[in-house]
């Protein structure tokens, strides 16, 4: 019986180690700079906030000003930001259109093209917009938070829980975000 538990524990550790290696090697094309964007090279400060996004999801428009505000307040505190477009429609993945979107909205951040939805699958993203905060850890990059931006997509003035901001503030204090995951609300990944 001890042998079975030992084998299961070893398999668990092997899986955890393999996942940690995978996150360090994730890379996508940035539509803004037209250069590769790899997590291993880009998470060099306190954290990187990935915002899973689509120009065709109406929930994204509702969050646009809040995203700009959060980026503006935290970008000079060691927190980097990037949008990740995982829209399955090739028409919504044109680099020139994504660059134009960034210029017109004032979002001013990298816009990564997840054409094959590799990052959506890796991070288990189910809604758009949904955020993932990546931080450097002792053994490589870790996912510190995944989920909702706040608790009211439709009315910024009615927000009572600012999940993303709370997670960022906890990271800036050297703490692990709690909760580490909050269910996001928005467009379903496959149906928007």
In three-state form (DSSP H/G/I as H, E/B as E, the rest C), the secondary structure along 60-109 is: HHHHHHHHHHHHHHHHHHCEEEEEEECCCCHHHHCHHHHHHHHHHHCCCC
Per-residue pLDDT, 25? 86
Q: Which domain holds residue 9?
A: 2-188
CB atoms within 10 A of CB 88: 16
Q: Give the chain's domain count.
A: 1
Query: What is the value of pTM for the model shown?
Result: 0.85
Per-residue pLDDT, 2? 52
CATH code where residue 164 lies: 3.40.30.10
Per-residue pLDDT, 149? 97
Tens-level pLDDT at each residue, the chain (192 residues): 555 444 433 333 333 433 444 788 899 999 999 999 999 888 878 999 999 999 889 999 999 999 999 999 999 999 999 999 988 777 777 888 898 999 899 899 999 999 889 999 999 999 999 999 999 988 889 999 999 999 999 999 999 999 999 999 999 999 999 999 999 999 998 744
H helix or E strand, kind and range, residue 52: strand 47-53
Per-residue pLDDT, 88? 73
Per-residue pLDDT, 161? 96
């Amino acid at each position: 019986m001890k042998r079975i538990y030992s084998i299961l524990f070893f398999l668990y550790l092997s899986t955890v180690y393999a996942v940690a290696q995978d996150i360090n090697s994730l890379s996508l094309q940035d539509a803004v700079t037209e250069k590769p964007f790899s997590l291993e090279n880009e998470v060099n400060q306190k954290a990187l906030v990935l915002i899973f996004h689509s120009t065709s999801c109406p929930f994204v428009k509702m969050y646009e000003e809040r995203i700009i505000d959060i980026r503006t307040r935290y970008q000079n505190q060691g927190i980097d930001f990037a949008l990740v477009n995982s829209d399955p429609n090739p028409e919504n993945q044109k680099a020139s259109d994504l660059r134009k979107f960034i210029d017109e909205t004032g979002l001013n951040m990298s816009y990564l093209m997840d054409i094959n939805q590799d990052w959506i699958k890796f991070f288990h993203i189910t809604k758009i917009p949904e955020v993932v905060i990546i931080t450097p850890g002792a053994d490589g990059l870790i996912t510190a938070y995944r989920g909702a931006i706040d608790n009211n997509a439709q009315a910024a003035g009615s927000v009572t829980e600012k999940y993303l901001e709370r997670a960022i503030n906890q990271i800036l204090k050297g703490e692990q975000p709690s909760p580490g995951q909050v269910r996001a609300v928005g467009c379903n990944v496959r149906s928007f």
